[in-house]
Amino acid sequence: MGEWSDCSRKCGPGHQRRQVICRQVTHVHANGTETAVTVAQGLCGSTDMPVTESTCQLKICSQWEILPCGVGQRSREVVCISNQGEVEPDEECNMNLKPDTFQNCDMGACARSWFTSFWSQQCTAECGTGNRTRTAICLMDHVTDLPLGSCEGERPSEVMSCDSGPCQQRLEWYTGPWGQVTYLHTEKKNTCFMLIKYKIQWIIL
Protein backbone atom coordinates (compact mmCIF):
# COMPACT_ATOMS: atom_id res chain seq x y z
CA MET A 1 0.00 0.00 0.00
CA GLY A 2 1.14 3.52 -0.72
CA GLU A 3 0.81 6.81 1.06
CA TRP A 4 -2.07 9.26 0.92
CA SER A 5 -1.43 12.61 -0.72
CA ASP A 6 -1.47 15.77 1.39
CA CYS A 7 -4.90 17.07 2.36
CA SER A 8 -6.28 19.43 -0.28
CA ARG A 9 -7.04 22.10 2.33
CA LYS A 10 -5.06 23.50 5.27
CA CYS A 11 -8.25 23.82 7.31
CA GLY A 12 -11.80 22.56 7.08
CA PRO A 13 -12.99 19.45 5.19
CA GLY A 14 -10.80 18.43 2.26
CA HIS A 15 -9.81 15.29 0.41
CA GLN A 16 -6.69 13.22 -0.25
CA ARG A 17 -5.95 10.64 -2.92
CA ARG A 18 -3.71 7.65 -3.54
CA GLN A 19 -2.94 5.51 -6.58
CA VAL A 20 -4.16 1.92 -6.76
CA ILE A 21 -2.90 -0.62 -9.31
CA CYS A 22 -3.67 -4.27 -10.01
CA ARG A 23 -0.65 -6.57 -9.91
CA GLN A 24 0.04 -10.28 -10.25
CA VAL A 25 2.69 -11.98 -8.15
CA THR A 26 4.87 -14.13 -10.41
CA HIS A 27 7.50 -15.36 -7.98
CA VAL A 28 8.16 -15.47 -4.25
CA HIS A 29 11.83 -15.63 -3.31
CA ALA A 30 13.30 -17.60 -0.43
CA ASN A 31 13.75 -14.42 1.63
CA GLY A 32 10.05 -13.66 1.36
CA THR A 33 10.31 -10.87 -1.23
CA GLU A 34 8.01 -10.98 -4.23
CA THR A 35 8.36 -10.38 -7.94
CA ALA A 36 5.20 -8.96 -9.48
CA VAL A 37 3.96 -7.33 -12.67
CA THR A 38 1.25 -4.75 -13.20
CA VAL A 39 -1.81 -6.09 -15.03
CA ALA A 40 -5.11 -4.67 -16.25
CA GLN A 41 -7.46 -3.50 -13.50
CA GLY A 42 -10.19 -5.73 -14.87
CA LEU A 43 -8.26 -8.79 -13.63
CA CYS A 44 -8.69 -7.67 -10.03
CA GLY A 45 -12.06 -7.94 -8.36
CA SER A 46 -13.82 -4.59 -8.30
CA THR A 47 -15.63 -5.40 -5.05
CA ASP A 48 -12.43 -5.45 -2.97
CA MET A 49 -10.67 -2.57 -4.71
CA PRO A 50 -9.22 -0.21 -2.06
CA VAL A 51 -10.62 3.31 -1.96
CA THR A 52 -8.61 5.88 -3.89
CA GLU A 53 -10.04 9.01 -2.24
CA SER A 54 -10.71 9.87 1.39
CA THR A 55 -11.87 12.90 3.34
CA CYS A 56 -9.44 14.73 5.64
CA GLN A 57 -9.30 17.73 7.95
CA LEU A 58 -6.08 19.09 9.46
CA LYS A 59 -7.92 21.59 11.63
CA ILE A 60 -11.14 23.56 11.82
CA CYS A 61 -11.09 26.82 9.86
CA SER A 62 -10.99 29.70 12.29
CA GLN A 63 -13.32 32.66 12.57
CA TRP A 64 -12.32 36.26 13.19
CA GLU A 65 -10.87 36.61 16.66
CA ILE A 66 -9.58 39.26 19.02
CA LEU A 67 -6.08 38.06 19.87
CA PRO A 68 -3.70 39.17 22.62
CA CYS A 69 -0.68 38.83 20.31
CA GLY A 70 0.62 39.54 16.85
CA VAL A 71 0.15 42.46 14.45
CA GLY A 72 -3.36 43.78 13.91
CA GLN A 73 -5.54 46.86 14.01
CA ARG A 74 -7.49 48.68 16.65
CA SER A 75 -10.38 51.03 15.98
CA ARG A 76 -12.20 53.89 17.64
CA GLU A 77 -15.38 55.77 17.01
CA VAL A 78 -15.04 59.26 15.48
CA VAL A 79 -18.11 61.52 15.31
CA CYS A 80 -18.79 65.12 14.34
CA ILE A 81 -20.06 67.19 17.30
CA SER A 82 -21.29 70.79 17.23
CA ASN A 83 -20.25 73.45 19.77
CA GLN A 84 -23.59 72.75 21.47
CA GLY A 85 -22.49 69.13 22.03
CA GLU A 86 -24.87 67.60 19.49
CA VAL A 87 -23.85 64.85 17.05
CA GLU A 88 -23.94 66.10 13.47
CA PRO A 89 -23.47 64.34 10.10
CA ASP A 90 -19.81 63.84 9.17
CA GLU A 91 -20.19 66.23 6.23
CA GLU A 92 -20.73 69.13 8.66
CA CYS A 93 -17.15 68.78 9.89
CA ASN A 94 -13.98 69.35 7.86
CA MET A 95 -13.32 65.87 6.44
CA ASN A 96 -9.65 66.74 5.86
CA LEU A 97 -9.20 67.08 9.61
CA LYS A 98 -11.08 63.92 10.55
CA PRO A 99 -8.97 61.80 12.96
CA ASP A 100 -8.06 58.24 11.95
CA THR A 101 -10.62 55.57 12.71
CA PHE A 102 -8.12 52.68 12.55
CA GLN A 103 -4.57 52.31 13.83
CA ASN A 104 -2.07 49.49 13.40
CA CYS A 105 -0.92 47.77 16.57
CA ASP A 106 1.60 45.10 17.58
CA MET A 107 1.00 43.03 20.70
CA GLY A 108 4.17 40.96 20.38
CA ALA A 109 4.91 37.61 18.80
CA CYS A 110 2.30 34.86 19.01
CA ALA A 111 3.13 31.37 20.24
CA ARG A 112 4.31 28.89 17.61
CA SER A 113 3.69 25.19 17.98
CA TRP A 114 3.54 21.90 16.07
CA PHE A 115 0.20 20.54 14.91
CA THR A 116 -0.34 16.99 13.65
CA SER A 117 -3.14 15.32 11.72
CA PHE A 118 -4.57 11.92 12.66
CA TRP A 119 -2.59 8.80 11.76
CA SER A 120 -3.68 7.14 8.50
CA GLN A 121 -6.13 4.32 9.15
CA GLN A 122 -4.49 1.66 6.97
CA CYS A 123 -1.04 0.12 7.19
CA THR A 124 1.08 0.33 4.03
CA ALA A 125 1.62 -3.46 4.09
CA GLU A 126 -1.10 -6.04 3.46
CA CYS A 127 0.86 -8.44 5.66
CA GLY A 128 3.99 -8.14 7.76
CA THR A 129 5.48 -4.82 8.83
CA GLY A 130 4.52 -1.53 7.17
CA ASN A 131 3.95 2.11 8.04
CA ARG A 132 1.19 4.51 8.97
CA THR A 133 1.60 8.22 8.23
CA ARG A 134 0.41 11.63 9.36
CA THR A 135 1.22 15.27 8.57
CA ALA A 136 3.03 17.67 10.91
CA ILE A 137 2.81 21.44 10.34
CA CYS A 138 4.02 24.51 12.19
CA LEU A 139 1.26 26.93 13.24
CA MET A 140 1.32 30.33 14.87
CA ASP A 141 -1.41 30.74 17.46
CA HIS A 142 -3.10 27.61 15.97
CA VAL A 143 -4.10 29.61 12.89
CA THR A 144 -1.29 30.72 10.56
CA ASP A 145 0.72 28.11 8.65
CA LEU A 146 4.47 28.79 8.98
CA PRO A 147 7.65 27.29 7.46
CA LEU A 148 8.69 24.11 9.30
CA GLY A 149 11.85 25.78 10.61
CA SER A 150 9.81 28.41 12.47
CA CYS A 151 8.72 26.09 15.29
CA GLU A 152 10.98 25.21 18.19
CA GLY A 153 11.55 21.68 19.41
CA GLU A 154 11.75 18.45 17.47
CA ARG A 155 9.32 17.97 14.61
CA PRO A 156 6.78 15.25 15.47
CA SER A 157 7.26 11.96 13.66
CA GLU A 158 5.19 11.56 10.49
CA VAL A 159 5.79 7.79 10.12
CA MET A 160 4.88 5.01 12.56
CA SER A 161 5.49 1.30 12.05
CA CYS A 162 2.53 -1.08 11.99
CA ASP A 163 2.04 -4.84 11.77
CA SER A 164 -0.62 -6.33 9.50
CA GLY A 165 -0.05 -9.89 10.71
CA PRO A 166 2.09 -12.72 9.35
CA CYS A 167 2.31 -13.45 5.63
CA GLN A 168 0.97 -16.99 5.20
CA GLN A 169 2.86 -19.72 3.35
CA ARG A 170 2.98 -23.52 3.69
CA LEU A 171 4.86 -26.56 2.37
CA GLU A 172 3.23 -29.52 0.60
CA TRP A 173 4.32 -32.47 -1.50
CA TYR A 174 3.67 -32.30 -5.22
CA THR A 175 4.33 -35.21 -7.57
CA GLY A 176 5.93 -34.92 -10.97
CA PRO A 177 5.04 -37.05 -14.02
CA TRP A 178 5.92 -40.73 -14.10
CA GLY A 179 9.26 -41.50 -15.73
CA GLN A 180 9.78 -44.04 -18.54
CA VAL A 181 9.66 -47.76 -17.76
CA THR A 182 13.14 -49.04 -17.00
CA TYR A 183 13.99 -52.71 -16.32
CA LEU A 184 10.37 -53.64 -15.68
CA HIS A 185 9.95 -51.19 -12.81
CA THR A 186 8.69 -47.67 -12.65
CA GLU A 187 9.98 -44.67 -10.87
CA LYS A 188 8.13 -41.61 -9.77
CA LYS A 189 9.77 -38.32 -8.86
CA ASN A 190 8.54 -36.73 -5.67
CA THR A 191 9.52 -33.14 -5.11
CA CYS A 192 8.85 -30.81 -2.21
CA PHE A 193 7.66 -27.41 -3.33
CA MET A 194 6.79 -24.31 -1.38
CA LEU A 195 3.12 -23.76 -2.16
CA ILE A 196 2.46 -20.10 -2.59
CA LYS A 197 -0.67 -18.84 -4.27
CA TYR A 198 0.31 -16.40 -6.99
CA LYS A 199 -2.78 -14.32 -6.70
CA ILE A 200 -3.77 -11.18 -8.51
CA GLN A 201 -4.29 -8.37 -6.04
CA TRP A 202 -4.86 -4.66 -5.66
CA ILE A 203 -1.79 -2.64 -4.67
CA ILE A 204 -1.89 0.92 -3.35
CA LEU A 205 1.06 3.05 -4.48
Q: Which amino acid is at 89?
A: P
For a pLDDT cut of 90, what percent of the chain falls above it?
A: 2
Q: Is the pLDDT of residue 80 over 80?
A: yes
Q: Is the pTM of this model over 0.85?
A: no
**Confidence (pLDDT) at 195:** 47
What does the alpha-carbon distance between residue 3 and residue 133 come to, in Å, rounded to a whole number? 7
Q: Is the pLDDT of residue 62 over 60?
A: no
Residue 205's Cβ-side half-sphere holds a number of Cα atoms within 13 Å equal to 6
Nearest to 200 by CA among 50, 37, 28: 37
Residue 33's Cβ-side half-sphere holds a number of Cα atoms within 13 Å equal to 2
> Residue range 191-200: average pLDDT?
50
Nearest to 202 by CA among 55, 53, 39: 39
Q: Is the pLDDT of residue 37 over 60?
A: yes
What are the pLDDT digits (tens) for 120-148? 888 888 878 889 898 888 877 655 666 77
**Confidence (pLDDT) at 47:** 62
**Confidence (pLDDT) at 175:** 66
The ranges assigned to domains in the chain are 14-64+109-204, 71-106
- Residue 137 has a CB neighbour count (10 Å cut-off) of 19
Nearest to 143 by CA among 55, 54, 56, 69: 69
> Residue range 160-186: average pLDDT?
67
> Residue range 154-163: average pLDDT?
89
Higher pLDDT, 56 or 199: 56
Which residues, other chains included, contact 106 with Cβ-Cβ below 8 Å and sequence gap of 6+?
A: 70, 71, 72
β-pairing verdict for 136-140 and 112-116 = antiparallel
Q: Is the pLDDT of residue 110 over 80?
A: no
